[in-house]
Amino acid sequence: MGVLTGKTALVTGASRGIGRGVAERLGRDGPRIAVHYGSDKTAAKETVAAIEAAGGSAFAIGVRLGMPGDADRLWEEFDRHADGLDILVHNAGIGTSRPFAEIGEEEFDRLFAVNVKAPFFLTRLGAERLRDGGRVVNISSGLARAAAMPQLIAYAMTKAALDVFTRDLSKELGPRGITVNSVAPGIVDTDVNAAWLRASEEAWQEAAALAALGRVGTPADIADVVAFLVSEDGRWVTGHWLDATGGSLT
Residue ranges of the chain whose pLDDT lies below 70: 1, 147
**Predicted local confidence at residue 192, as pLDDT:** 80
Report the alpha-carbon distance of residue 178 to residue 108 in Å, rounded: 32
The predicted structure's pLDDT at residue 98: 82
Asked if the structure places residue 157 within a domain, the reply is yes
Total number of domains constituting the chain: 1
Residue 74 forms part of a structural domain: yes
Residue 202 is assigned to a structural domain of this protein: no
Query: Known catalytic residues?
Result: 140-141, 155, 159
For position 97, what pLDDT does the model report? Answer: 73
Give residue 66's Cα distance to chain centre.
Answer: 15
pLDDT at position 56 is 97
H or E element that contains 33: strand 32-37
Could you read off the pLDDT of 214-227 as tens digits, one per residue?
A: 999 999 999 999 99
**Per-residue pLDDT, 1:** 56
Per-residue DSSP letters for 111-159? Answer: HHIIIIIHHHHHHHHHTTTEEEEEEEEEE--GGGTSS--GGGHHHHHHH
244 by DSSP, 3-state: which? Answer: strand
Task: Please check whether residue 23 lies inside any domain of the structure.
Answer: yes
Q: What pLDDT, on the 0 to 100 scale, is given for residue 20? A: 98
CATH value at residue 114: 3.40.50.720
For residue 198, the model assigns a pLDDT of 81
Q: Is residue 195 part of a domain?
A: no
Q: Are β-strands 57-62 and 32-37 bridged in parallel, bridged antiparallel, or unpaired?
A: parallel
User: Where is 11: in which H helix or E strand?
Assistant: strand 8-11
Asked whether residue 206 is assigned to any structural domain, the reply reads no
Question: Could you give the CA distance from residue 79 to residue 61 in angstroms, rounded to a whole number?
Answer: 10
CA distance 12 to 35: 7
* Residue-number span of the structural domain to which 18 is assigned: 8-188+219-242
Q: What is the pLDDT of residue 233?
A: 97
The 10s digit of each residue's pLDDT in 9-62 is: 999 999 999 999 999 999 999 999 999 999 999 999 999 999 999 999 999 999
- The H-assigned helical ranges of the chain are 17-27, 41-53, 70-79, 105-112, 118-126, 153-173, 194-197, 201-209, 219-230
Burial of 178 (0-12, 13-18, 19+ CB in 10 A): buried
Q: Residue 147: what pLDDT?
A: 67
pLDDT value of position 125: 97
Please report whether residue 119 resides in a domain: yes
Residue 2 resides in a domain = no
